[in-house]
Amino acid sequence: MTPVRRAVIDVGTNSVKLLVADVQKPSVIPILEESEQTRLGKGFYETHRLQQDSIQDTARAIAQFAGVARTNGAVSLRVIATSAARDAVNKQELLDAIKNASGLNADIISGDQEADLVYQGVRSDATLAGQRLLILDVGGGSAEFIIGENEHPEFTHSFPLGSVRLLETLRPSDPPTPAELDRCRKYLRAFFAERIHTIVNPHLAKGREATRLIGTGGAATILARMEYALDQYRRQEIEGARITLDSIHRWMKELWSMPLSERRNIVGLPRKRADVILTGMAIYEAVLEEFGFNELRASTRGLRFAAVMQTPLTTVAA
């Protein structure tokens, strides 16, 4: 069977991401990946209203990526939107703007759908076959926890804990103070105690010693890029990278003492992500500490890998 070239655009709370890939189930061969930060969740969490400038920036980025997908031979295109879009009281304004800018219909997926797609995408890595995994996808607005070892996950849950959401809650100074770092860690410990442990622990307890922690999504791949000083996104070097808890502690101490201007010069850290890396790193630190893991393995697969394998919603016009 001849591979089919497909594309998916992922509309997140922080960034819009494009994947163009040749698909021949169960194989996905990435051809092109691009990302643009539009910060759809900017100023969102007090009112749950998407701001007009962020809506327009997001719609423009989608239209641009649709053109890129077409130029690169994609015969179909799917647009999916996640946390900020599904929680917004004015989500229809976003959908209308996307339609007007690109002619495309976006599919706002639920947290459970997102978690299931993440699981299927990560498990497409043959090296993880038969292993019991806790998969964590930290986005801008939410964090998806997925546990499983077979074809389908046995547990999925989406929590309102993301890097943009937490940054807008804490609003650290520039540079952050030691007291603000302490406050961030206390906030996360309380969140885990009140919201996460009672839901996740009963499922994680089964086979805990054999469970591996896999991080996927933007925050995890940026941690790997920083750890290995990768000045560009290089999938083959990021896939399977290990980041230890000791290394995350070191990065936390360094990042939370730097002004934004210095963080923007760190190799591997995209300049536009230099603010949210503070809270993205803190969430991963909390997960490793709270569940007793010593290291995180990065995966470049996940949501978009699974979405591009599914039946496309939109045919790309010639």
> Is residue 166 over pLDDT 80?
yes
Q: Return the pLDDT at 129.
A: 86
Q: Return the pLDDT at 15.
A: 93
Location of structure tokens 């690109």: 102
> Is residue 91 over pLDDT 60?
yes
> Is residue 118 over pLDDT 50?
yes
pLDDT tens digits for 191-218? 999 999 999 999 999 888 899 999 998 8
Q: Which domains does the chain have, with CATH numbers?
A: 4-111+304-315 (3.30.420.40), 126-300 (3.30.420.150)
Q: What is the pTM of this model?
A: 0.90
> Omega of the bond prior to 259 within 30 degrees of 0, cis?
no
Q: Return the pLDDT at 115.
A: 87
What contacts 202, CB < 8 A, 6 or more positions away?
none
**Residue 62, CA distances (Å) to 9, 12, 99 in order:** 7, 12, 10
Token couple for 92? 């229809």
The closest of 200, 206, 214, 196 to 134, measured between CA atoms, is 214
pLDDT tens digits for 38-68? 999 988 888 999 999 999 999 999 999 999 9
Q: CA dihedral in degrees (60, 62, 67, 71; nearest 10)?
A: 140
**For strand 133-138 and strand 242-244, is the pairing parallel, antiparallel, or unpaired?**
unpaired
> Is residue 316 over pLDDT 60?
no
Strand partners, 81: 11, 108
